Structure 1
């Protein structure tokens, strides 16, 4: 009689304990997930500040006079808002030399970025989808090219181009910009993973040439990788300093990096060049910001446009 009365009570008492024990891992998992989210968010905030604080400093410095640059805090505006006057000086100094440097940088980075991306896509697609003797050896050379810094090849290129009579010309900066080992590596990996061989076979059965298959199918499927390669190449060429320094002697051919550095080198003699330098730096980052904002739409869209539908 005692056992019959106590057994239901014991089971009923044990039920809440089991529920609590089952809920405890869920609460622990939720707390761990919350901590991970906080840590990841904090890391991203620190990284964002690392990249945005210098940009903020440039924007603030470009609004100041030379006196305010040294008399006020670097992270707040001065007593005089001098942005438009600084920009006027930037674009009119020395008969508009900055405009020429800006257009040169657009030429180098625009043409170089587009052609380097196209060549990287063609090479990566061929290495991924064509089976030929020595393919892995070629890919190994490409990986070796990724490891070689551009500064290590600048002087040999100068000696080679000087023998060909190409130094101090647009070609001396454009031709090296057409090669992107990292871009070819990325395109090969992406083409291998995203381009379905059955799509290529369908195109061949329909009578399409290999070039048409590459342009109609492969390039569209590889769009996210192509945008990535183009952005890397665009930023790399735009910020390139050492190669133009070695190759160019005529300041009419200078990119924006060399031109601004020439202004910065004169600040000890003429302090007003501080205003020219800060204003020029502000203008120089605008095309890169525009390219990032515009191209990220194609980047996101390409992730779904290049998908193979089942």
Structure 2
């Protein structure tokens, strides 16, 4: 939800927040939320981290219709001190990090149309609220998100936003979790997508590689299709520990002298859960040559 090149819309406050204006949602928009919710609710058990399902229950997100942020925030504040604030779309990097550092999660208030049910370029309220907010009810993940926001504020000063963005992408948006019963999804970009919820765990095409902070920050990602590599954390506690204990400034300096890694790269040093065939990406490239 961040972009460093934006101009503030006239209707937004100085921090780019806007009223959700819940009463303006149409019956059709509520029905779209319900359709998306029901589809994911049927698919995710057994695939998603249990903490995500716990968050759905704690926040009562199964209630029909688009959530009213006022009601949602009362429950979220009780759980972890976080709140959801509406924004008109992407927000500048510095403001995005400031909101996270102060336990405010920015969310778009619009919802996709039926024609966009399986793909849209800009995240909507279903991606932002269904995908992200349940884990904000988990105390450990909530602390990680705050720590990420503080890290983002330092990255702005150090000119290292692109490196830190990769951490967000490969954890908060497209992260996998290692569990005794097998890999589980937790990233919002997967959790809110019917097709990627299946692809990320079941398809032989993508790599699934153990989380390594330095390696991850060298790795490009793709924004136009399924990921070619997913990184697997051992636990939310370990993810938080590594984020809090790491001094990112020396890491950023060290990475200045290294080449970026392609999205499909596998290194000898990687802890490999699955070496992908990359068949999906190759087939897509053949259908849509540059």
Larger Rg: 1
> Between Structure 1 and Structure 2, which shows a larger proportion of strand residues?
2
User: TM-score normalized by structure 2?
Assistant: 0.23
**Larger relative contact order, structure 1 or 2 (CA cutoff 8 Å, min sep 6):** 1
User: TM-score normalized by structure 1?
Assistant: 0.22
> Between Structure 1 and Structure 2, which shows a larger proportion of helix residues?
1
